Amino acid sequence: MSANTIKKAKALAKDGVVKVEDDLYQVKSSSNAAKSYFVTSETCECEGFKNFYKFHHGKGLKANCSHLEAVKLFKKIYEKKSVKET
């Protein structure tokens, strides 16, 4: 995963992720403020995720994008905080 993907994910996790329901999140686009994507712990509807295998075919990598990484960070940081507060 690139350093740029991680950088975008950290910024999105901070204020670009909204939990919709169990394992469904809405994540802002990092390049277009008018867009957002629905993300689960395994998938994202953005073009980068959809095209991942086109660009990384045969490398044994699992599809990923900054939105998916943002959800992982959000769950790790912010959802654990709310559990501790209860």
- What is the extent of the structural domain holding 71? 3-85
This prediction has a pTM of 0.84
- Average pLDDT, rounded, for the chain: 89
Q: What phi-psi label fits residue 23: left (phi over 0), alpha (psi between -120 and 50 degrees) or beta? A: left
Q: 43 by DSSP, 3-state: which?
A: coil
Tell me the pLDDT tens digit for each residue of 47-66: 999 999 888 877 888 889 99
pLDDT at 59: 83
Q: Domain total for the chain?
A: 1
